[in-house]
């Protein structure tokens, strides 16, 4: 029948008024379905701050849709009728309304895409238009290329959006100012951190619910300070543009024990849930540059993260297909050590990154890549266990962006789709970019022995374990030459120390 009610599905990370499913629907005819369900909250044990953020933002978005004239059937987690899964809730609501059709925007995970495709009702899946590059656009770009490199894709996105362009040339003459963005942490940080919001009554209700239901999940719920609607997310963005963007570039890779956020935007959770629009964010950053408020290296670096890395990662996930997240190119199989969930390790850099993650559901890129990710890769942890940890603990984590970052960029498990070489380093890099090593139980300068920094011995052991895979890589050949010049006795000692460390770690000793 022509005017039969249809259901419009809006997922927790689809809180955008321009969502394609809403565009395809009709407020006079259709019913929006939104549901807090335990299947989504527990398929990995999401951080309580992440669950609270999403539930609060979902409730506020439902109110907004109602005031825009939509009928919204919203199911709270503890509703007695709640089917506790997305397909279950859709079927329940379809029966209530006699609806025979569902309209959805493509979810950001293959798992949920298949669940929708397998529903007994027809589901019209609309493309997610909240990204610059459609799947077809990315496939076209990737077609026939031997290697997929973010830099070349990024340049096309710059041309297409016109961001930081001077005619058909890049602003300032260079596409990429990353070279200027590698300063270690400054002594003083003149920024209080990201903008924080006091929970209102609606948020307090959600916090009580999350406290009662997800107490056993890793992560501290309070103090809860996230933005939970578009207006607050906008205010947080504005605060970043004013107070942090000018120094974003310089200290992008720095880490300090004192400051968790440095000059980072801390907007990943807002962008990925749909509270901020990526192109708008970039245009506002560009305006800050044009107004003379922020330098080119900062603004180019920031824009590259969003129209370059973020879009590229999404392209890789969907190009990789449903099995992308299960790849294990280096055949790693060790279990994730318990200290990823407790922070109880003598490695100060790891303890700091994990403790901060527990408190904030946040760590910045270099902490994720060069501390927790680097350690997991060096120690040969099973990439799917590493990925499950990242997916659970970060407020901005959804598989479309988490898997290419973890399986691809960090664990080099996707066969080189994302990167041309693994991101591994000894303790040296961490010592250079942070103050973690001061006061660590290990000695970053010691290359062998009981107190040697574990990253130092594991680094060589990793290279030797995977010599066949990497020694012909021109970007890694120098390291193999260094190893080959090392005295044999020292080589044996390094490898022995690495084995001893791993055995102690696997035996559950405090390492």
Residues forming the site for ligand DLZ (CB under 6 A)? 11-13, 35-37, 40-41, 46, 51, 54, 107-109, 112, 398
Residue 405 near which of ligand SF4, ligand FAD, ligand DLZ, none (CB within 5-8 Å, type-dependent): ligand FAD
Supply the DSSP string of 188-250, one letter for each residue.
------S------HHHHHHHHHHHHH-TTSSS---S-----SHHHHHHHHHHHHHHTHHHHTT
User: Which residue, 46 or 310, has its beta carbon nearer to ligand DLZ?
Assistant: 46
- Give the shortest CB-316-to-ligand FAD separation in angstroms: 10
Residues 443-462 that bind ligand FAD (CB under 6 A): none
Contact 445, 265 (CB under 8 A): no
Residue of 91, 265, 298, 388 interacting with ligand FAD (CB under 6 A): 265
55 lines the binding site for ligand SF4 (CB under 6 A): no
Q: What is the gyration radius of the CA atoms in the chain, in angstroms? A: 24
d(CA 245, CA 261): 12
Residues 295-354 that bind ligand FAD (CB under 6 A): 305-306, 309-310, 313
Residue with smallest beta-carbon separation from ligand DLZ: 12
254 lines the binding site for ligand SF4 (CB under 6 A): no
- Give the shortest CB-458-to-ligand FAD separation in angstroms: 17
What pairing do the DSSP bridges indicate for beta strands 7-9 and 102-105? parallel
- Give the shortest CB-361-to-ligand SF4 separation in angstroms: 22
Residue of 394, 455, 462, 501 interacting with ligand SF4 (CB under 6 A): 455
460 lines the binding site for ligand SF4 (CB under 6 A): no
Contact 12, 40 (CB under 8 A): yes
Q: Which residues pair with 74 in a beta bridge?
A: 34
361 lines the binding site for ligand FAD (CB under 6 A): no
6-29 exposure pattern, b = at least 16 Cβ within 10 A, e = fewer:
bbbbbbbbbbbeebbbbeebeeee
Residue 207 near which of ligand FAD, ligand DLZ, ligand SF4, none (CB within 5-8 Å, type-dependent): none
Q: At CA 319, angle to CA 318 and CA 322, rounded to 5? A: 60
- Give the shortest CB-233-to-ligand FAD separation in angstroms: 11
437 lines the binding site for ligand SF4 (CB under 6 A): yes
Q: What is the DSSP letter of 445?
A: T
Question: Dihedral sign, CA of 467, 472, 475, 480?
Answer: positive
- Give the shortest CB-440-to-ligand SF4 separation in angstroms: 3
Cα dihedral 500/501/503/508 (nearest 10): 140
364 lines the binding site for ligand FAD (CB under 6 A): yes
Q: Which residues pair with 124 in a beta bridge?
A: 103
User: Which residue, 104 or 403, has its beta carbon nearer to ligand FAD?
Assistant: 403
User: 229: closest CA among 56, 398, 74, 73?
Assistant: 56
User: 50: closest CA among 194, 195, 220, 198?
Assistant: 220
Residue 264 near which of ligand DLZ, ligand FAD, ligand SF4, none (CB within 5-8 Å, type-dependent): ligand FAD
Task: Write the binding mask 377 to 416 for ligand FAD: x where contact by CB under 6 A, - elsewhere.
Answer: -------------x---x-xx---xx--xx--xx------
d(CA 500, CA 235): 51
Residue 348 near which of ligand FAD, ligand DLZ, ligand SF4, none (CB within 5-8 Å, type-dependent): ligand SF4
Contact 495, 464 (CB under 8 A): yes
Residue 266 near which of ligand SF4, ligand DLZ, ligand FAD, none (CB within 5-8 Å, type-dependent): ligand FAD
d(CA 389, CA 45): 9
133 lines the binding site for ligand FAD (CB under 6 A): no
Half-sphere exposure of 106 (CA within 13 A, CB side): 14
- Give the shortest CB-241-to-ligand FAD separation in angstroms: 11
Residue 46 near which of ligand SF4, ligand FAD, ligand DLZ, none (CB within 5-8 Å, type-dependent): ligand DLZ
356 lines the binding site for ligand FAD (CB under 6 A): no
251-264 exposure pattern, b = at least 16 Cβ within 10 A, e = fewer:
bbbbbbbebbbbbb
Residues 339-358 that bind ligand SF4 (CB under 6 A): 347-349
What residue has token string 């007994």? 120
- Give the shortest CB-352-to-ligand SF4 separation in angstroms: 8
Residue 260 near which of ligand DLZ, ligand FAD, ligand SF4, none (CB within 5-8 Å, type-dependent): none
Residue of 442, 459, 462, 501 interacting with ligand SF4 (CB under 6 A): 442
Backbone angles phi, psi at 190, to 5 degrees: -90, 40
Structure tokens at 120: 């007994």
Backbone angles phi, psi at 443, to 5 degrees: -110, 115
281 lines the binding site for ligand SF4 (CB under 6 A): no
- Give the shortest CB-226-to-ligand FAD separation in angstroms: 12
Per CB under 6 A, residues contacting ligand SF4 are 347-349, 427, 430-431, 436-437, 440, 442, 444, 453-455
Binding site for ligand FAD (CB under 6 A): 264-268, 271-272, 305-306, 309-310, 313, 364-365, 368-369, 373, 390, 394, 396-397, 401-402, 405-406, 409-410
């Amino acid at each position: 029948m022509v005017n039969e009610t249809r259901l419009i599905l809006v997922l927790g990370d689809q809180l955008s008024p321009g969502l394609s499913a809403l565009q395809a629907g009709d407020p006079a005819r259709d019913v929006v379905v939104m549901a807090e369900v335990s299947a989504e909250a527990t398929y990995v044990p999401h951080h309580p701050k992440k669950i609270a953020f999403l539930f609060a933002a979902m409730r506020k978005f439902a109110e907004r849709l109602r005031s825009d004239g939509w009928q919204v059937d919203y199911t709270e987690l503890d509703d007695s009728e709640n089917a506790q899964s997305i397909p279950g809730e859709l079927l329940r609501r379809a029966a209530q309304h006699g609806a025979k059709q569902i309209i959805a925007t493509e979810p950001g995970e293959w798992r949920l895409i298949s669940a929708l495709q397998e529903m007994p009702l027809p589901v019209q899946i609309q493309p997610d238009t909240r990204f610059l590059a459609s799947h077809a656009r990315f496939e076209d770009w990737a077609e026939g290329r031997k290697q997929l490199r973010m830099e070349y894709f990024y340049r096309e996105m710059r041309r297409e959006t016109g961001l930081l362009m001077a005619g058909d040339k890049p602003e300032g003459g260079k596409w990429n100012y990353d070279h200027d963005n590698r300063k270690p942490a400054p002594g003083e940080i003149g920024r209080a951190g990201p903008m924080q919001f006091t929970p209102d009554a609606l948020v307090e209700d959600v916090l009580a619910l999350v406290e009662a239901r997800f107490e056993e999940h890793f992560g501290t719920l309070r103090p809860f300070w996230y933005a939970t609607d578009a207006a607050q997310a906008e205010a947080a963005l504005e605060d970043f543009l004013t107070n942090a963007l000018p120094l974003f570039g310089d200290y992008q890779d720095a880490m300090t024990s004192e400051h968790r956020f440095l000059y980072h935007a801390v907007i990943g959770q807002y962008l990925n849930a749909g509270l901020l629009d990526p192109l708008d964010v970039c245009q506002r950053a560009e305006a800050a540059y044009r107004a003379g408020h922020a330098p080119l290296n900062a603004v180019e670096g920031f824009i590259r993260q969003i129209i370059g890395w973020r879009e590229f990662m999404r392209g890789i996930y969907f190009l990789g297909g449903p099995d992308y997240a299960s790849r294990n190119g280096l055949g790693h199989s060790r279990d994730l050590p318990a200290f990823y969930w407790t922070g109880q390790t003598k490695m100060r850099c790891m303890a700091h990154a994990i403790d901060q993650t527990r408190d904030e559901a946040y760590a910045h890129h270099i902490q994720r890549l060069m501390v927790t990710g680097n350690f997991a890769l060096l120690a040969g942890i099973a990439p799917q266990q590493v990925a499950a940890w990242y997916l659970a603990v970060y407020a901005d984590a959804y598989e479309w962006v988490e898997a290419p970052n973890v399986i691809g960029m960090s664990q080099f498990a996707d066969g080189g789709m994302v990167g041309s070489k693994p991101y591994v380093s000894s303790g040296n890099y961490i010592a250079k970019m942070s103050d973690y090593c001061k006061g660590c139980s290990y000695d970053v300068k010691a290359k062998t022995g009981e107190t040697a920094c574990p990253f130092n011995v594991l680094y060589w052991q990793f290279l030797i374990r995977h010599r066949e895979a990497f020694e012909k890589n021109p970007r890694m050949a120098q390291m193999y030459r260094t190893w080959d010049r090392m005295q044999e006795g020292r080589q044996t000692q390094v490898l022995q120390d690495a084995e001893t460390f791993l055995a102690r770690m696997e035996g559950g000793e405090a390492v």
